[in-house]
């Protein structure tokens, strides 16, 4: 059994151990694969392909007929042409839920940074501003308390509900917009329609999948229905927002602030309107990166391979 890892560096830059894959066969690791041609060359003779962001295209699958399984080292699997894989009898497996706690925690890290600008004030202290201050304290940005505020969570799956539970611990009111409802969700927040969520929320946090109907769900029209001075958070998928519309709303003050760990094109292009928008915190798609969550991800990839070889594939996204 030949296993090829096309872009292993993102998951494991060196602090995890790939040996959990050794029992399944010969493992060939590439840190990065830049082009489709390179991916095709490297995938020759492979039985199992592991990818994070390297596209698995119909052209690649046609050129590599030995491929029997594609394992996505992530929850999102839009980099794989799942229909093309299914047509060739190739299951595509993802890793759901490995980063629920990490992403929920990170969502609040972004929110708290917007509330207090701790990083900025740490820099100012180290620059001598506090030492030179005539008073015992100072702050250069408005400070915001979360208790009593309303957070609207778009997408109330496992991560959205985890964010809701943290919000409740902060004394916040929780609204949720989701295509489905569950008893657990009802115990955390109140399900409402999107318009009501937009109108009532002080903070809006995105946790929905990227589907055609959710692409740019945050746009000029939906922003116009938000409260003046609302805060926007996105730790889900970059294309859920119109970046031009969000940048304009930050410039006009319609949005008090925005914090995003994902953008439409990654890495972010140097001409992105978000880079020059005020009160906009941007981080490089790292909410999933705690060692603990990546270890869970790698172990689940191994479990997915084991289940496939035992004849009962799991976490198949193209059944």
Domain pair 2-98+291-309 / 100-282, same fold: yes
pLDDT band at 127 (very low <50, low <70, confident <90, very high): very high
Q: Which whole-number Å values give the CA distances from 41 to 6, 60, 244, in the listed order?
A: 11, 9, 39
pLDDT band at 241 (very low <50, low <70, confident <90, very high): very high
Q: In the CATH scheme, what is the code of domain 100-282? A: 3.40.50.720
Domain segments of the chain: what residues?
A: 2-98+291-309, 100-282
Per-residue pLDDT reduced to its tens digit, 1-53: 999 999 999 999 999 999 999 999 999 999 999 999 999 999 999 999 999 99
List the single range of 128-132, 194-198, 207-211, 214-218 with lowest mean pLDDT: 207-211
For 29, residues 6+ apart whose C-beta sits below 8 A from its C-beta are 5, 8, 18
Per-residue pLDDT reduced to its tens digit, 254-273: 999 999 999 999 999 999 99
Q: How confident is the model at residue 173, as a pLDDT? A: 98
Q: Percent of the chain scored above 90 by pLDDT?
A: 99
The 10 Å Cβ neighbour count of residue 219 is 15
What are the φ/ψ torsions at residue 244 (nearest 5 degrees)? -65, -45
Q: What proportions of the chain, in percent to the nearest 5, are helix, strand and coil?
A: 35, 15, 45
Per-residue pLDDT reduced to its tens digit, 129-157: 999 999 999 999 999 999 999 999 999 99
The chain-wide mean pLDDT, for the chain, equals 97
pLDDT band at 96 (very low <50, low <70, confident <90, very high): very high
Q: How confident is the model at residue 202, as a pLDDT? A: 98
Q: How confident is the model at residue 318, as a pLDDT? A: 97
- Return d(Cα 253, Cα 271) in angstroms, integer: 21
Average pLDDT over residues 105-115: 98
pLDDT band at 285 (very low <50, low <70, confident <90, very high): very high
Q: What is the pTM of this model?
A: 0.94
SS3 track for 185-244 = HHHHCEECCHHHHHHHCCEEEECCCCCCCCCCCECHHHHHCCCCCEEEEECCCHHHECHH
Residues labelled as active-site residues: 237, 266, 285
Instruction: Please name the fold of domain 2-98+291-309.
Output: Rossmann fold (3.40.50)
Per-residue pLDDT reduced to its tens digit, 54-68: 999 999 999 999 999
């Amino acid at each position: 059994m030949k296993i090829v890892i096309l872009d292993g560096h993102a998951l494991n830059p060196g602090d995890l151990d790939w040996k959990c894959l050794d029992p399944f066969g010969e493992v060939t690791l590439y840190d990065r694969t830049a082009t489709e041609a390179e991916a095709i060359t490297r995938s020759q003779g492979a039985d199992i392909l592991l990818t994070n962001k390297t596209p698995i295209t119909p052209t690649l699958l046609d050129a590599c007929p030995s491929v029997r399984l594609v394992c996505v080292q992530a929850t999102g699997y839009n980099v794989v042409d799942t229909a093309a894989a299914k047509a060739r009898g190739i299951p595509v497996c993802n890793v759901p839920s490995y980063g629920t706690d990490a992403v929920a925690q990170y969502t609040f890290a972004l929110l708290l940074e917007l509330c207090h600008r701790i990083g900025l004030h740490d820099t100012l202290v180290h620059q001598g501003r506090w030492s030179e201050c005539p008073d015992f304290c100072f702050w250069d940005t408005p400070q915001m308390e979360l208790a009593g505020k309303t957070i609207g969570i778009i997408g109330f799956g496992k991560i959205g509900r985890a964010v809701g539970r943290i919000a409740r611990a902060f004394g916040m009111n929780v609204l949720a917009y989701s295509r489905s409802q569950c008893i657990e969700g009802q115990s955390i927040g109140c399900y409402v329609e999107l318009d009501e969520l937009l109108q009532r929320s002080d903070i809006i946090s995105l946790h929905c999948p990227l589907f055609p109907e959710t692409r740019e769900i945050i746009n000029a029209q939906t922003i116009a229905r938000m409260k003046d001075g609302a805060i926007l958070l996105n730790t889900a998928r970059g294309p859920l927002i119109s970046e031009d519309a969000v940048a304009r709303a930050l410039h006009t003050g319609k949005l008090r602030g925005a914090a995003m760990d994902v953008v439409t094109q990654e890495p972010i292009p140097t001409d992105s309107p978000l880079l020059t928008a005020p009160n906009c915190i941007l981080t490089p798609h790292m909410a999933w990166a705690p060692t603990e969550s990546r270890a869970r991800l790698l172990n689940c990839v191994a479990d997915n391979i084991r289940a496939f070889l035992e004849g009962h594939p799991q976490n198949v996204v193209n059944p």
